[in-house]
Chain A
Amino acid sequence: MSSIRVNPNILPDLLSALQQTRQQEATSTLELATGSRINQPSDDPAGAAALVSNAEQSAQADSFLRSITSINGQLQTADSTLSSVVTALQRAISLGVQGANGTLSNTDRADVAAELTGIQQQLISLANTSYQGEFIFSGTATIQPFLASSSGPSGVTYQGNNGINNVQVGTNYSLAVNQPGSQVFTAPGADVFQSISDLIATLQNNAGSSSINSAVSEVSNAFDHITSQRVFYGNAINQLNAQQNYLNSEKVDLSAAADSIGGADMAATAANLNQSELAVNAELSAMSRIGQTSLFDYLK
């Protein structure tokens, strides 16, 4: 026999080719079903590792977004509280100016003082605003920040501390979310309660226009101070909004990146599946014909 002999039994070869095609078929089907090219680390080890950090960043962005929603509520509450404080102080100033008017009778002054006492109560209650059960002007001490008591000169005692909480809202980006009440309401030279209390005293004592006017300018200082404190909250809210937009676009980028790392190219995968199915059919029909005939069939 000098002619080239071929392997007479090619069924094992065909079987292994068939198994390979079936494997491709199964892989394409899984990719189509999950929409992902990486269904286990071995599908693309480097891609699978990249997806771990992508998922981490995405979870972090989600977490920052939830924190932003939560502290945004707190900042909004503080901001609108201070807005009410500003209104109350405006009213106090106009009452003080009215009280300094020399034509006013002592009884009228007593009435003005009484209204100012009401405003003082309102201011204490505003300073004791809470958000989700926590007082927002108490520093980091969550006890009631301001207590009306006769012990101090202003009649109001600060029970909180000077602590400030920072909340992380981005990678390496933290934002202070509170101003302690001692800084907002009872700052030296701009003490809201002291100024109102002084104004009430001058009115009650009929201390004369110049004393009343100087008490009014004290309230006016406090008013300016509160207005400047409000800027902090306004800025923080603006920063949060900007950061929220950034995080939302970061999430879009991350999800696009995840898709380019591990997403299946649906059109290509569907085409592959189609091809595998064709190949399986062709292989099956080839196998069904192989070995059906040999020379024995032709010998009579």
Chain B
Amino acid sequence: MSNLSATLSLATGALAAEQGALTETANNVANVNTPGYSRKEPQFAENPPVVLGPLTFGTGVSLENTAGIRDPILQLRIQQETGTQGELSAFVDAMQQVQAQFSNQGNDIGTQLSALFSSVNQLSSNPASIPLRQAVLTAASNLASTISTSANNLTAQQSNLDLSVSQAVSQVSTLTQQIAKVNGQIAALQNLHQDASTFIDQRDVLINQLSGLIDVSQIQTESGISLTTSNGTALVAGTQAFALTTQPDASGHQHIFAQGNDITAQLNSGQLGGLLQVRDQKIPSLLSSLDTLAAGISTAFNAANASGFDLNGDVGDNIFVPPPASGQGAAASMAVAITDPALIAASSDGSAGSNGNLANFAAIQSQNVIGGETPSSFYANLIFTVGNDVSNGSAEQQGSQAVLQQLQDQRGSISGVSLDEEASNMVQFQRAYDAAAQVVTTVNQMLETVINMGTT
């Protein structure tokens, strides 16, 4: 049979358990705005009963180790989507700056191209006119400087992206060190069978940040979580972090190295993925298109000028500085080679008043001289490519944003702290505490009765 002191200790245990539960509630309420915090639900468990003969007596309640409420699979999905989001937003940000080179209507390459052909057409109505010849040279020089400015701006932007790459890489190294450290703390606590929830939340936040920067794969191991890039480069193994380093290549662009291996081309998610895609693929391809355009125009105009005679009756020389033989860098170095307007070879018969050769200039506008296309349709395609990249990127970014938001809602519905819920729990724990306290008072009175029984 049970005794009163056992009942007293049972009630005291209940008081402690309810108080502990209230502490969890307090902690949940305190962390209502903490990023990555997973709410904790107090786990009450009935104590093992005591069996005395035919009777079984309960021995009260105790609070079990409280675990954070989380869904690890959902957490993985959030990390993946954060990586996609990081990649797309870096891509779109960078491409929007690229696009600005091609948006300035009224002063863009297309307008300058039309202006050059217009000036040639004007000259044909009065081929000996020096002011009209000067207008052709001015239009040619405007076109050359617009193309070379665009090319130089793209190169400058590449250098800026380079800076962002270095910064992102050093952030990655900082995060991997922190994750390795937290891994150690989690392992230590779990070895003691203690609650590591706080550190797991912390690690989830850190891995999330890391996913926003670089592609991350998770492997659960004995010593905690190991992180690698998607192609298997180790970032964190248990308590050990592997730092990434950067080294400039021949053209001055930072390449990313992991333990001596160049992994630059293998990164395709997170901020680094987006930055590298613009720096190493989009901008070089645009630069090469501009080179093709610049080289094509320069060569075609030089050839047209060479097929006629200038105002002095001489065979025409180069109008544009001849592009490099490889074509590489043609856009950045595009420039007009002559300053004397008399040197434009308008004449086809050597007479000053002839405009016969200007038809060769005008024909360039409708000839497929730039990569099999006319100058203007080549430029229109370039505009389409840039616009399409930005518009697709933005659409994907918005889609990924919606997915991420939904995942986070889902996480919130599982792990987020609800103040209503906490308030209701608080009332519940308080009532139970009050009741247990009432039991203690009652047992106390009964004990008093028993003691007084002896003295009277």
Contact = CB atoms under 8 A, between A and B. Distances in A.
A42 B396 CA distance: 13
Contacts of A133: 128-129
Given A8-B419, A48-B387, A16 B405 contact: yes
A111 interface: no
Interface stretch (B261-269, B289-297, B376-384): B376-384
A53 interface: yes
B354 A165 contact: yes
A138 to B, nearest CB: 7
Contacts of B385: 45
B125 A142 contact: no
Contact of A67 (B100, B124, B405): B124
Contacts of A163: 349, 351, 353-354, 356
Contact of B353 (A50, A60, A140): A140
Contacts of A63: 117-118, 121-122
A7 B115 contact: no
Interface stretch (B164-172, B196-204, B406-414): B406-414
Contact of B110 (A40, A44, A55): A55
Interface stretch (B142-150, B229-237, B330-338, B420-428): B420-428
B114 A59 contact: yes
A71 B114 contact: no
Interface in A26-72: 39-46, 48-50, 52-53, 55-56, 59-60, 62-64, 66-67, 70-71
- Secondary structure of the B side of the interface? helix
A55 B379 CA distance: 12
B386 A7 contact: no
Contact of A41 (B387, B405, B413): B387
A138 B424 contact: no
Interface string A149-174: 00000000000010101111001001
Given A49-B381, A56-B376, A64 B351 contact: no
Interface in A7-22: 7-10, 12-13, 16
Contacts of A165: 124, 127, 353-356
Contacts of B419: 8, 294-296
Contacts of B418: 5, 8
Contact of B359 (A74, A168, A296): A168
A259 interface: no
A96 interface: no
A165 B308 CA distance: 14
B416 interface: yes
Interface residues of A, number: 58
Contacts of B306: none
A294 B124 contact: no
A274 B349 CA distance: 66
A5 B349 contact: no
Given A41-B99, A49-B380, A139-B353, A67 B122 contact: yes
A134 interface: yes
Given A42-B391, A295-B419, A134 B380 contact: no
A166 B121 CA distance: 11
Contacts of A64: 121
Interface residues of B, number: 69
A135 B351 CA distance: 13
A210 interface: no
Contacts of A296: 419, 423
Interface in B326-376: 347, 349, 351-356, 359, 362, 365-366, 376
Considering residues B41, B117, B121, B355, which has the most beta carbons from chain A within 10 angstroms of its beta carbon?
B121
Contacts of A53: 376-377, 380
A186 B355 CA distance: 24
B102 interface: yes
Contacts of A5: 413-414, 418, 421
A102 to B, nearest CB: 49
A45 to B, nearest CB: 3
A177 B382 CA distance: 38
B190 to A, nearest CB: 26
B442 interface: no
Given A52-B376, A163-B356, A294-B420, A139 B99 contact: no
A30 to B, nearest CB: 12
Contacts of B376: 52-53, 56
A299 interface: yes
A48 B128 contact: no
A240 B405 CA distance: 65
Contacts of A10: 409, 412
Given A9-B416, A165-B127, A167-B125, A142 B114 contact: no
A294 B418 CA distance: 9
B394 interface: yes
A163 B346 CA distance: 13
Given A48-B383, A48-B384, A295-B424, A140 B356 contact: yes
A110 interface: no
Contact of A7 (B100, B384, B413, B420): B413
A141 interface: yes
B85 to A, nearest CB: 12
Contacts of A43: 387, 391
Contacts of B100: 40
B380 A140 contact: no
Contact of B387 (A8, A12, A40, A140): A40
A50 B387 CA distance: 12
Contacts of A135: 353
B113 A56 contact: yes
A264 to B, nearest CB: 15
B122 A46 contact: no
A35 B420 CA distance: 50
Nearest to B366: A171
- A-B pairs with lowest CB-CB distance, top 10: A41-B387, A7-B412, A45-B387, A42-B390, A295-B423, A140-B354, A59-B114, A63-B118, A8-B418, A142-B353
29 contacts: A1-B421, A5-B413, A5-B421, A9-B32, A9-B412, A10-B412, A13-B405, A40-B103, A42-B389, A42-B394, A48-B384, A53-B377, A55-B110, A59-B118, A60-B121, A64-B121, A70-B125, A135-B353, A139-B351, A140-B349, A140-B352, A141-B351, A142-B128, A142-B351, A165-B127, A166-B356, A167-B125, A167-B355, A296-B423
Given A8-B417, A45-B384, A55-B105, 13 more contacts: A8-B412, A8-B419, A41-B102, A41-B390, A45-B388, A48-B383, A52-B383, A60-B121, A63-B122, A142-B353, A165-B124, A166-B124, A295-B423
